[in-house]
Amino acid sequence: MNNNKRFLGWIPYLVVALLVTSLYSYSRASTTSALTYGQFMKLVSNQQIEEVVLTMNNTVIDVTGRYKENDTEKGFVASVPNTEVKTDELIDILQKNVKEGNIKIVNPYKTNYLMEILTQIVPLCLMIGFALFLLTRMNGSSNNKAFEFSKSRARLESNIKVRFTDVAGCEEEKEEMAEIIEYLRSPEKFAKMGARIPKGILMVGNPGTGKTLLAKAVAGEADVPFYSISGADFVEMFVGVGASRVRDMFKKAKGTAPCMIFIDEIDAVGRQRGAGLGGGNDEREQTLNQLLVEMDGIDENRGIVIIAATNRPDILDPALLRPGRFDRQITVSLPDKAGRKAILEVHARNKKLSKDIDLGALAARTPGFSGADLENVLNEAAILAVRGKRDIITMEDLDEAIDRVIGGPAKKSRKYSDKEKRLVATHEAGHSVIGIHLEDAEIVQKVTIIPRGQAGGYNLMTPKEDQMFLQTKKQLLAEITGLLGGRVAEELVLGEISTGASNDLERATKIAKAMVNQYGMSSLGAVQYASDSENVFLGRDYVNNKNYSDKVAFEIDQEVRKIINGCYEEAKKIIAANRQELDNIVRELIENETLTKEDLDNIVKYGTKNAPAIAEA
């Protein structure tokens, strides 16, 4: 390898030498004149020739040399016919007008053995040397890649800028991580007390909830090296490569302890072993085995903490979750209203917001949004402000950004026919009337008939209070009734039904089945009939045995139909009782295309979206 580097070092000098030689030859050639026989003889007669070389060929004599003109020497070339008369005449006149020592006669057929050898051997040597150089380079690079193939793909970051102040909406999770930071800063404190800090911490949560950001913040607060890798980076086509990468990663980590290893999407390598149709995956299972061995091989309080993230903890191998490995599990949940406001404040630091924007109200309108969704809302609003050539982000920009995140960009160029526009307006108005008058239904914040994505229109509805885990039977029934409101409005007002309710029916049926199969909210009693159908392993899904009889399956279908039909009749009663209100909403939607909660309140109270002016006393 050193010889190759030395050879490469000589290449620039060789190139420069060739360039200089070429330039010199070019400059010499540019000062050489091609003379006719008459011009040449005239210069000889005038005694201007300084030196001359005669090359005696068979038919012509090539004449080269230098002559003087106005005290300046110039080169020349000329040709003279090689006849006896001309040759004698040329030799005679040159001897009379040119100094004797400046006349040279060259035999072109005299062999120069050294030059012949060099012209044959040198090109061959150059070609062989170039071929050897290429082969050496190819072998060297392939060998290097062969060695690097089994190296760890973990990226080392030693100067993390992220801090806990950059992470919002997960205060309890940060409290759990505080002792890990203290341990990484001074592991000897815990060793003196006989405490054993968990080697592995598993962070579980929906996509976009900030698991990776929280892990970086821990490394940033502790100011330790941060190894980051995805579970998919371990697994390759060749068996044994993943295990080798795991060994190399832990070897590096032990050399830089205290440090932190972050494995994102660990379910890619940590799935339960032996599952799937026809057995497991040898490479993935060997990689998992090596990961388990390396975690067991870390001495207590060595200063190495492993944090892994996944949104599928149900498919992980039980050996990963036992004490001594990933023995602490932290759930990173979707943020509540206060958390969403804090996240918006973090991401709004570098945004120019209008003074009338209330981030608290914006947080109330975005239930179920993750941190990534909220960051995307502010980014989309900033893009819309730039597109509109505004200096600040307005509330209209944020309102449109929420709609874009939920349903995609508005298709303003798509035009409804009058019949289709009335159908969509009636459908969305039906959802709105249920949301307004049903006690346990969600609050309608906005309704629009502007198409977005696959939807012709949509209702933005938010719960009255943030609910993290539990829903009552009344709330589920109200949700089903609200979903069926659009279909009921089409039937009662237009006398026909459309395909627009397909997604509503799908969601309503799913909720009704869950009430019967999972939640025990039917006349079948407090029995759970649902099987474990969410497992992703093909071998278990391929043969999915029911744990109930065909008679019970018939009763389940009857109960699901009973729930749907009951909610359908409830929606009919509400819409029939508020028919005038529904017609007013349809009229305003056709005219304005979008209505806010304030507009709907005015329609309920005054019959129109605009509140009447209060007459002065």
Range in 293-302, 396-405, 494-503, 608-617 with the lowest mean pLDDT: 608-617
Contact assessment for residue 385 and residue 397, using Cβ atoms and an 8 Å cutoff: yes
Highest average pLDDT, of 164-168, 181-185, 190-194, comes from 164-168
Residue 616 has pLDDT above 50, yes or no: no
| Per-residue model confidence (pLDDT) at position 14 | 59
> In this structure, what token pair is assigned to residue 325?
């490995």
Longest dimension (CA), the chain: 136
* pLDDT value for 578: 92
Q: What is the pLDDT of residue 20?
A: 52
Cβ neighbours, 10 Å, residue 610: 10
Q: How far apart are CA 526 and CA 514, in angstroms?
A: 13
Q: Is 213 helix (H, G, I), strand (E, B) or coil?
A: helix
Q: Give the integer Cα–Cα distance in Å for 273 and 460.
A: 43
CA-nearest of 60, 61, 67 to 39 is 67
Report helix, strand and coil shares of the chain as percent, to nearest 5: 55, 15, 30
pLDDT (average), residues 15-21: 53
Q: How many other CB atoms are there within 10 angstroms of residue 207's CB atom?
A: 10
82 vs 399, more confident:
399
How much is the mean pLDDT over the chain? 80
Q: What percent of the chain has pLDDT over 90?
A: 17
Query: Mean per-residue pLDDT for 112-125?
Result: 67
Whether the CB-CB separation of 514 and 522 falls below 8 Å is answered with no
- Residue type, position 248, single letter: D
**Closest-CA residue to 460 (of 446, 439, 443):** 446
Pairing of strands 200-205, 326-332: parallel
Helix ranges (DSSP H) in 408-470: 418-437
Pick the residue with more confidence: 507 or 179?
Answer: 507
Residue that has been written with the tokens 């090296």 in this structure: 225
Q: Which residue has the higher pLDDT, 269 or 512?
A: 512
What is the Cα–Cα distance from 92 to 249, expressed in whole angstroms?
90
**How many angstroms separate the CA atoms of 332 and 345, rounded?**
19
Tokens at 355, concatenated? 């003074």
Q: pLDDT value at position 536?
A: 45
Q: Which of 283, 375, 428, 490 is catalytic?
A: 428
pLDDT above 90 for 566: yes
| pLDDT exceeds cutoff 80 at 70 | no
Residue 155's SS3 state is: strand
State the pLDDT at residue 150.
62
Angle at 433 between CA 604 and CA 409, to 5 degrees: 105
Task: Report which of 95, 5, 101, 111 is spatially closest to residue 44, judged by C-alpha positions.
Answer: 95
284 phi, psi to nearest 5 deg: -65, -40
Please, which residues bridge with residue 452 across strands? 410, 455
On the CB side of 363, CA atoms within 13 Å amount to 22
Task: Write out the two tokens for 420.
Answer: 């289709």
Q: Which amino acid is at 219?
A: A
What backbone phi and psi angles, to 5 degrees, belong to 391?
-85, -20
Quote the CA–CA distance of 476 and 508 in Å, as a whole number. Answer: 9
What is the spatial distance between Cα 177 and Cα 220, in angstroms, rounded to a whole number?
12
Place of tokens 């070429």: 22
What's the pLDDT band for 577 if we cut at 50, 70, 90?
very high
Nearest C-alpha neighbor of 443 from the set 427, 426, 425, 465: 465
Tokens matching residue 115: 């030059």
Question: What single-letter amino acid sits at 413?
Answer: S
Phi, psi of 43 (to 5 degrees): -65, -35
Q: How high is the pLDDT of residue 63?
A: 81
| CB-based contact 35:77 (threshold 8 Å) | yes
Known active-site residue 428: yes
Q: How far apart, in whole angstroms, are the C-alpha atoms of residue 446 and residue 362?
A: 13
Please compute the mean of the pLDDT values over residues 592-601 and round it to a whole number.
88
Give the Å distances, CA to CA, from 185 to 92, 167, 219, 258, 432.
Answer: 102, 20, 10, 8, 56
What is residue 466's predicted lDDT score, i.e. its pLDDT?
65
- Of the candidates 586, 582, 362, 583, the one whose C-alpha atom is nearest the C-alpha of residue 462 is 362
Rounded CA separation 296/452 (Å): 52
Q: What is the phi/psi pair of residue 178, to 5°?
A: -60, -40
Cα angle: 448, vertex 445, 495; to 5 degrees: 50
Within 8 A by CB and 6+ apart from 401, the residues are: 376, 377, 378, 380, 381, 384
pLDDT of 524 strictly over 80: yes
Q: Is 604 a residue whose pLDDT tops 60? A: yes
Which positions ≥6 away from 222 have C-beta within 8 Å? 180, 181, 184, 185, 258, 260
Crossing angle (nearest 10°) for helices 502-517 and 550-577: 130
Q: Which residues lie across from 52 on neighbouring strands?
A: 65, 103
Q: CA 100, 103, 105 angle in degrees (round to 5)?
A: 135
Please give the structure tokens belonging to residue 611: 């509140």
Question: Quick one: DSSP state of residue 471?
Answer: -
What tokens appear for 5 in the block?
């580097």
CB 359 within 8 A of CB 348: yes
pTM > 0.75? no
Distance CA 350, CA 345 (A): 10
pLDDT over threshold 80, residue 287: yes
Question: Which residue in the block uniquely carries the two structure tokens 């980076």?
Answer: 233
Q: Tens digits of per-residue pLDDT, 345-379?
A: 999 988 899 888 888 888 888 888 888 999 999 99
Sign of CA dihedral 389, 395, 398, 400: negative
Predicted local confidence at residue 208, as pLDDT? 87
Instruction: Provide the residue type at 98 as one letter.
Output: V
For residues 136-146, one letter each, b for 16 or more C-beta atoms within 10 angstroms of the residue's C-beta and e for the rest, the string is eeeeeeeeeee
Q: Print burial letters for 288-297: b (CB count within 10 Å at least 16), e (below 16).
A: bbbbbebbee
State residue 543's pLDDT score: 47
Q: What is the model's pLDDT at position 544?
A: 52
